[in-house]
């Protein structure tokens, strides 16, 4: 099956949240700050030199043109920045402004489209979960909650315990959400039934056949 949109995971990208956490956007006294960023996951661009200005960053990089004898060309891209205030004080949160003139969306991530970095919408990209049906999408979200709690991703395993340092209210909220998602992804309750079985046991074939009848069209 061919899809109309590529996945975000298939493109090289830059994430301003990572720069913010690493304090790479902090101003340097008397001059603009510069740093070099290594890119992975592609063969066309290997590194970017970033010049940080008060309301803008300048990206300098080499773009490798496709062909029998690929050539490198020097490119520069100017990306405006926007800042939003944090709810509880602290450093202002930075955002990229998509460089496309007819877009100018405020985003955290820019993706390589051709030879420039643009937002996800301008690059016509989508997420893996959006290619899934509602049942599998719910199970994927349930697995993400389990991963956040440091437990097994398998919904047939016991639900993870509360991590040290997590508030009980947060843990109960996540568990309630995971239970809701599991019910959407497994309405027949096969995963819950398997959790209750003794080790080494299997679900009776009659129950499996009944569940298949409910899922299959035409029954």
Q: What's the pLDDT tens digit per position in 180-199?
A: 888 887 765 545 444 444 55
Task: Please give the model's pTM, rounded to 2 decimal places.
Answer: 0.60
Give the pLDDT confidence of 82-123 residue by residue, as tens digits.
998 876 666 688 999 999 999 999 999 999 888 889 999 898
The yes-or-no verdict on residue 208 having pLDDT over 80 is no
**Residue 209 reports pLDDT greater than 60:** no
Mean pLDDT of the chain: 77
What interhelical angle do 134-148 and 168-185 show, nearest 10?
A: 150
The token pair at 2 is 């061919």
Start-end of H helices in the chain? 16-21, 134-148, 168-185, 190-196, 205-215
**125-126 and 6-7 beta bridge pairing:** parallel
Please give the Cα distance from 8 to 84 (Å, whole number). Answer: 25
Residue 32 has a pLDDT of: 73
pLDDT category, 68, cuts 50, 70, 90? low
Please name which of 74, 26, 95 lies closest in space to residue 54, comparing C-alpha atoms. Answer: 26
For 113-148, the pLDDT digits (tens) are 888 899 998 988 887 666 666 777 788 788 889 988
Q: Using a pLDDT cut of 90, give the percent of the chain over it.
A: 26
Q: For strand 33-38 and strand 106-107, is the pairing parallel, antiparallel, or unpaired?
A: unpaired
- Look up residue 211 and give its two tokens: 């569940």
């Amino acid at each position: 099956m061919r899809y109309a949109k590529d996945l975000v995971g298939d493109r090289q990208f830059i994430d301003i949240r990572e720069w913010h956490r690493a304090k790479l956007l902090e101003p340097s006294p008397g001059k603009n700050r510069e740093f070099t960023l290594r890119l992975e996951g592609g063969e066309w661009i290997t590194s970017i030199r970033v010049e940080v200005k008060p309301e803008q960053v300048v990206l300098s990089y080499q773009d490798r043109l496709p062909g029998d004898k690929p050539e490198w060309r020097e490119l520069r891209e100017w990306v405006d920045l926007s800042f939003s205030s944090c709810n509880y004080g602290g450093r202002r949160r930075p955002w990229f402004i998509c460089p496309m003139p007819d877009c100018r969306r405020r985003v955290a991530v820019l993706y390589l489209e051709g030879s420039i970095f643009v937002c996800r919408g301008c690059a016509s990209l989508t997420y893996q979960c959006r290619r899934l049906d509602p049942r599998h999408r719910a199970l994927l979200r349930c697995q993400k909650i389990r991963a956040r709690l440091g437990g097994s991703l398998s919904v047939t395993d016991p639900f993870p315990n509360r991590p040290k340092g997590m508030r009980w209210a947060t843990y109960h909220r996540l568990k309630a959400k995971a239970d809701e998602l599991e019910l959407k992804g497994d309405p027949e309750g096969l995963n819950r039934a398997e959790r209750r079985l003794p080790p080494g046991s299997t679900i009776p074939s009659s129950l499996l056949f009944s569940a298949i009848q409910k899922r299959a069209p035409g029954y």
